[in-house]
């Protein structure tokens, strides 16, 4: 039996080996290089070989045949990382059960979503494609690189990035399950209970397996193995520090509750998502090494998000919490550099601190800071080139480069970037009214009534 399971799980690891990722060679000339970790370098070149940064310096000789990007007067920064998105996914919430750690966004990556290209247009190179927040313990998430153009979902995955999982506290899980289905959790207490219960069961489950595996070594042992549960396997992986927890949360009380749960079950790596009241418990978060991924200034969209401030990111950062700013939104994702810039108005962060919120800090939260998030020799060549400083209101992303391959070029930005076209979809084009002033406005905004009658008439 043990052999069987070893076999089953080893086949897991073999996955991903098939994916063929494009890695490019490139010389970026004469830009202001914002390294994030090692200051700014004026009129500096960046040489990329086989998708990695090979050299940073002045007047680098171009290797024969290499493609050159002239960045004179431009700013060269690490590709922006968004630690909270739901793009490139077919399915976000398995909202049927409060505990679903066995489901995995890795299985439902959709490389055709146009949102991937739009994010590239905002200088984004890596995102955390997350499960939703309907469940107290949701599904596993996937860290993806925006290699838009591939037809293979495996190619989008950032091979070797640590496993992550979505947790959720507060109104979303209590609404989905308590109100929706009349089951636990109906309250914040209930959310804590289902999480503790799941972890307790998982501990019992792995103890049973450990005991069984130990007994099997004794000669002449006869007995049945514990029943296999995929859910408890994954929960055990969380308890064994194999998965980083990303926990949707708003209120200080529930954040503090979750810190205690982590302590009780020995969970070391946790990133709180949204964390609107994080500023109230910033020292506690820092003390436990918990991180925070927040909005710049988005709140009041439901009751639990009323007590918020645009100073949140700055307060968390100044208290030593590794903090990032995320979008959780396809539109906001395209100007995350503006979102980071707001921390200079609200909190007075330096350029370096503000840019860290969308580069090296989210990289730390995803466990990929040794590979991306700053411009350093040996790191992966994920780069955004801006006209004007990225924190300026005039900042415009001109090029977005992933693994040394230009995936977005503002000068060469075709109208139709779809990879797959639905052969059955009706053609729709935008329509413009030229002479609005000549038209009768009496029924403006009410045309749908006419139309609906017409359509009703055609209905059975």
Partner 1 sequence: MVETRFIQRITEGALALLCCAFSLFAQDEKELKPVTRTYAITNVNVVQAPGKKVDMATILIKDGLITAVGKGVTIPADAVVIKADSMYVYAGFIDGLSRAGVTKPKEEAGRDRVKDPGNPAPERAGITPQNDVRNSLNASDKLIEDLRNVGFTVAQVVPYGNLLPGLGSIVLLSGKSADQMVLISNSALYSELSGANGVYPNTTMAVMAKWRELYRQASQAKSYQSLYASNRIGLERPGSDRVLEAFYPVIDQRIPVLFKSEKMLDAHRIITLKNDLGFSLMLADVKEGWPVASKIKASGAKIFLSLDLPEEAKKDDKKSGGKSDKKADSTKAKEVTKPKTAADLERDALEKRKAEAIANYTSQASVFNNAGVSFGFSSLSAKPKDIPTNLRRMIAAGLSEDAALAALTTTPAQLLGLSDRMGTVENGKMANLVISDKSYFNEKAKVRYVFVDGVMYKQVVKEENLPAGQAGKSDPNAKVEIEGSWSTVTQTPQGSNDGKVTFKKDGSGYKGTISGGRMPAPADLTSVTLEGNKLSYSYSLSFGGNSIKVDVEATVEGDSFKGNASIGPRGSFSIEGTKNPKN
Footprint of partner 1 on this chain (CB under 8 A)? 1, 4, 8, 11-12, 14-15, 18, 90-91, 93-100, 102-105, 107-108, 110, 139, 151-154, 181-183, 222-225, 227-231, 415-416, 418, 420-425, 427, 429-432, 450-451, 453-460
Q: What share of the chain is helix, strand, coil (3-state, %, to 5)?
A: 35, 25, 45
Closest approach of partner 1 to the CB of residue 81, in Å: 23
- Give the residue with the Cβ less far from partner 1, 7 or 393: 7
Q: If residue 272 lies in a helix (H) or strand (E), which one and from where to where?
A: strand 270-274
Place of tokens 């002239």: 70
* Whether 96 contacts 112, CB under 8 Å: no
- Give the residue with the Cβ less far from partner 1, 437 or 456: 456
- Give the residue with the Cβ less far from partner 1, 140 or 343: 140
Closest approach of partner 1 to the CB of residue 450, in Å: 7
Round to whole Å and give the CA distance between 5 and 1.
Answer: 6
DSSP letters spanning 424-440? TSPP------S-GGGS-
Closest approach of partner 1 to the CB of residue 22, in Å: 15
User: Token pair for residue 116?
Assistant: 């991937």
- Give the residue with the Cβ less far from partner 1, 8 or 300: 8
- State whether the Cα torsion 318-247-366-77 is positive or negative: negative
Closest approach of partner 1 to the CB of residue 445, in Å: 18
- Give the residue with the Cβ less far from partner 1, 78 or 101: 101
Closest approach of partner 1 to the CB of residue 154, in Å: 7
Closest approach of partner 1 to the CB of residue 114, in Å: 13
- Give the residue with the Cβ less far from partner 1, 79 or 95: 95
- Give the residue with the Cβ less far from partner 1, 416 or 440: 416
- Give the residue with the Cβ less far from partner 1, 31 or 153: 153
- Give the residue with the Cβ less far from partner 1, 123 or 132: 132
Check whether the bond before 87 is cis (ω within 30° of 0): no
Q: Can you name the residues that pair with 386 across neighbouring β-strands?
A: 75, 397
Round to whole Å and give the CA distance between 15 and 8.
Answer: 12
Round to whole Å and give the CA distance between 244 and 246.
Answer: 7
Closest approach of partner 1 to the CB of residue 162, in Å: 19
Cβ burial 35-53 (10 Å sphere, 16+ → b, else e) = bbeeebbeebbbbbbebbb
Round to whole Å and give the CA distance between 355 and 80.
Answer: 9
Give CB contacts under 8 A, 24+ apart, made by 389-396. 389/75, 389/351, 390/34, 390/75, 390/77, 390/123, 390/337, 390/340, 390/341, 390/355, 391/337, 391/340, 391/341, 391/344, 391/351, 391/354, 391/355, 392/341, 393/338, 393/341, 395/75, 395/337, 395/338
Q: What is the SS3 string spanning 117-156?
A: HHHHCCCEEEEEECCCCCCCEEEEEEEEECCECECCHHHH
Closest approach of partner 1 to the CB of residue 260, in Å: 26
Closest approach of partner 1 to the CB of residue 205, in Å: 13
For 30, the 3-state DSSP assignment is: strand
Residue 283: which residues within 8 A CB-CB, separation 6 or more? 319
- Give the residue with the Cβ less far from partner 1, 94 or 201: 94
Closest approach of partner 1 to the CB of residue 150, in Å: 10
- Give the residue with the Cβ less far from partner 1, 101 or 404: 101
DSSP 109: B
Closest approach of partner 1 to the CB of residue 438, in Å: 18
For 99, the 3-state DSSP assignment is: strand
Closest approach of partner 1 to the CB of residue 87, in Å: 15
Q: If residue 354 lies in a helix (H) or strand (E), which one and from where to where?
A: helix 351-356
- Give the residue with the Cβ less far from partner 1, 7 or 64: 7
């Amino acid at each position: 039996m043990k052999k069987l399971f070893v076999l089953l799980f080893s086949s897991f690891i073999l996955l991903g080996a098939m994916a063929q990722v494009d890695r490019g060679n490139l010389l970026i000339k004469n830009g202001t290089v914002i390294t994030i970790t090692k200051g700014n370098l004026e009129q500096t070149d960046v040489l990329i070989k086989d998708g990695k940064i090979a050299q940073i310096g002045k007047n680098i000789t171009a290797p024969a045949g290499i493609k050159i990007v002239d960045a004179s007067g431009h700013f060269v920064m690490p590709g922006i990382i968004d630690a909270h998105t739901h793009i490139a996914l077919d399915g976000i919430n398995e909202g049927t059960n409060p505990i679903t750690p066995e489901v995995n966004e890795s299985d439902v990556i959709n490389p055709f979503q146009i949102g991937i290209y739009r994010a590239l247009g905002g200088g984004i190179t890596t995102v955390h494609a997350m499960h939703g927040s309907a469940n107290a313990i949701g599904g596993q998430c996937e860290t993806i690189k925006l290699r838009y153009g591939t037809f293979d979902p495996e190619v989008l995955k950032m091979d070797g990035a640590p496993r992550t999982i979505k947790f959720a506290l507060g109104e979303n899980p209590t609404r989905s399950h308590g109100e929706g289905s009349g089951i636990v959790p109906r309250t914040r207490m209930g959310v804590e209970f289902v999480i503790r219960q799941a972890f307790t069961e998982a501990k019992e489950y792995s103890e049973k397996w450990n005991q069984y595996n130990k007994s099997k070594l004794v000669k002449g042992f006869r007995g049945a193995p514990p029943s296999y549960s995929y859910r408890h396997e994954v929960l055990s992986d969380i308890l064994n520090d194999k998965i980083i927890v990303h926990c949707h949360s708003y209120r200080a009380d529930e954040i503090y509750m979750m810190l205690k749960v982590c302590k009780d079950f020995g969970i070391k790596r946790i990133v709180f998502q949204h964390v609107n009241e994080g500023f109230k418990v910033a020292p506690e978060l820092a003390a436990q090494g918990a991180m925070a991924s927040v909005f710049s200034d988005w709140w009041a969209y439901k009751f639990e998000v009323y007590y918020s401030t645009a100073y949140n990111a700055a307060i968390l950062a100044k208290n030593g919490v590794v903090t990032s700013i995320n979008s959780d939104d396809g539109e906001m994702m395209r100007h995350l550099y503006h979102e980071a810039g707001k921390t200079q108005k609200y909190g007075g962060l330096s350029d370096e601190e503000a840019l860290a919120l969308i580069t090296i800090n989210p990289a730390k939260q995803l466990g990929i800071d040794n590979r991306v998030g700053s411009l350093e020799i040996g790191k992966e060549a994920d780069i955004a080139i801006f006209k004007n400083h990225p924190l300026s209101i005039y900042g415009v992303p001109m090029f977005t480069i992933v693994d040394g391959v230009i995936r977005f070029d503002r000068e060469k930005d075709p109208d139709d970037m779809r990879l797959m076209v639905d052969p059955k979809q009706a053609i729709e084009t935008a329509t413009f009214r030229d002479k609005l002033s000549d038209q009768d406005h009496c029924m403006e905004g009410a045309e749908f009534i006419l139309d609906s009658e017409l359509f009703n008439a055609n209905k059975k």
